[in-house]
Copies of this chain bind each other. A is one copy, B any other.
Amino acid sequence: MSELRRDPIIGRWNIIETETPAGADAFDVDPHAPSGGKCPFCYGNEPLTPPEIYVVRPPGTAPNSAGWKLRVVPNKFPALKIEGDLGRRGLGVFDMCNGVGAHEVIIETPDHQRQMADLSIEELAGVIKAFQVRSLDLRGDRRLKYTLIFKNFGLTAGASLEHSHSQLIALPIVPKRVQEELRGSQRYFEFKDRCPYCDLVSQEVQEDERLLAENRSFLACCPFMSNFPFEIWILPKEHRADFAQIGPDAVTDFARILKETLLRMRVSLSDPSYNFIIHTAPIEPREREEYHWHLELIPKLTKIAGFEWGTGFYINPTPPELAARLLREATLPA
């Protein structure tokens, strides 16, 4: 089991791998290709993953055999494990607890060759539905406080397998980054009596300078204060703090705008590596007047260096107005 250890000054909890620690030889200086051989996410290799915990498969096919459309399985090399007690304890100035949590992999398609952007709207809606179902299910475990859904695509974005997949990690602590968003939006709400994200949505629609896609329920924009070049946020137009309460129509609209956004990014930036993260409210309280779930998408174009580590600020060489225009003008495949 890993350990969660807390920074006594800024309150960050890190996950330290104490069970199977990596020595000095574990790190390659050069990026390396994912290991060859059998892909554990392809048909016929289901025994290479832990047993499925959610699946879309035709009736009559056996669990953990070929024929499925989408599978969710526990991560074989989890950052956190579901068994055991939290065991919160102090160690002098430091604090720690056991690495309790869930770490699941959403295998988005059986087809090794297709990226998320290549999925049909229906398939992509199935992936979003899987995010929702797994989020709701994990709420039954009272030890867990937050569910993070994210995707790493490409080597430089940290993906270790190329077969299209996303990940879900449920944590026993509300993460630092989420607490910052909650505190910041609470402060804004106390001052203005409005959700800051709702205000941001209104302003981006009104200025119409940083939008790149829009439909009935969502918009995609390069936000005014973008941390990274070509950073994209997808926000629901209607105020809602909790992603997991998304309705069936919104699932389809979300799939549509996500596909369009991924395609625009792929065309504009020559198929970059990327990360996306669904920012949503903690498990309790899930209804919040001041918070607004959304997706943040970061194409991996720049490096984090001393300035960024030292300040928490980013130097972004591409104004979001320019990024949005280039993304909007990209010619999508027919």
Name A's B-contacting residues (CB within 8 A).
3, 5-18, 21-24, 26-27, 29, 79, 91-94, 148, 150-152, 156-159, 167, 169, 171, 175-178, 180-181, 184-185, 188, 196-197, 199-200, 203, 207, 224-227, 229-230, 268-270, 272-273, 275-279, 296, 298, 301-307, 309-320, 322, 326
Whether A196 contacts B306 in the complex (CB less than 8 A), given A225-B14, A318-B26, comes out as no
Do A315 and B15 touch across chains, with their CB atoms under 8 A apart?
Answer: yes
Contacts of A14 in B (CB 8 A): 225-227, 313-316
Do A148 and B26 touch across chains, with their CB atoms under 8 A apart?
Answer: no
Per assembly, the copies of the chain total 2
Apart from the given pairs A152-B306, A178-B310, 16 other A-B contacts in the complex at a CB distance below 8 Å: A8-B225, A15-B315, A15-B316, A24-B326, A26-B318, A29-B270, A93-B203, A148-B307, A148-B311, A150-B307, A157-B305, A175-B311, A176-B311, A176-B313, A276-B306, A277-B306
- Complex: A269 Cα to B24 Cα, angstroms: 6
Shortest beta-carbon distance from A32 to chain B in Å: 12
Tell me whether chain A's interface is mostly helix, strand or loop, or mixed: mixed
Do B157 and A188 touch across chains, with their CB atoms under 8 A apart?
Answer: no
Contacts of A227 in B (CB 8 A): 12, 14
Partner of A225, one of B7, B207, B313, B322: B7
Shortest beta-carbon distance from A330 to chain B in Å: 9
- Complex: A307 Cα to B16 Cα, angstroms: 14
Contacts of A326 in B (CB 8 A): 23-24
- A154 nearest in chain B by CB position: B29
Shortest beta-carbon distance from A146 to chain B in Å: 8
Do A17 and B316 touch across chains, with their CB atoms under 8 A apart?
Answer: yes
Instruction: List, sorted by A's number, 15 A–B pairs whose CB atoms are closer than 8 Å.
Output: A3-B319, A5-B225, A6-B225, A14-B227, A16-B225, A22-B317, A29-B156, A29-B270, A79-B307, A79-B315, A148-B310, A150-B310, A156-B303, A177-B313, A279-B310
Do A21 and B319 touch across chains, with their CB atoms under 8 A apart?
Answer: yes
Do B9 and A196 touch across chains, with their CB atoms under 8 A apart?
Answer: yes
The 4 A-B pairs with the shortest beta carbon distances in the complex, nearest first, are: A158-B305, A150-B306, A175-B311, A177-B312
Contacts of A157 in B (CB 8 A): 303, 305-306
Whether A167 contacts B306 in the complex (CB less than 8 A), given A11-B184, A176-B312, A226-B16, comes out as yes
Shortest beta-carbon distance from A205 to chain B in Å: 11
Whether A315 contacts B269 in the complex (CB less than 8 A), given A12-B227, A279-B310, comes out as no
- A6 nearest in chain B by CB position: B225
- Complex: A21 Cα to B226 Cα, angstroms: 14
Contacts of A269 in B (CB 8 A): 24, 27
Shortest beta-carbon distance from A122 to chain B in Å: 25
Shortest beta-carbon distance from A141 to chain B in Å: 18
Do B6 and A312 touch across chains, with their CB atoms under 8 A apart?
Answer: no
Whether A181 contacts B317 in the complex (CB less than 8 A), given A94-B225, A269-B24, comes out as no
Do B8 and A196 touch across chains, with their CB atoms under 8 A apart?
Answer: yes
Do B21 and A177 touch across chains, with their CB atoms under 8 A apart?
Answer: no
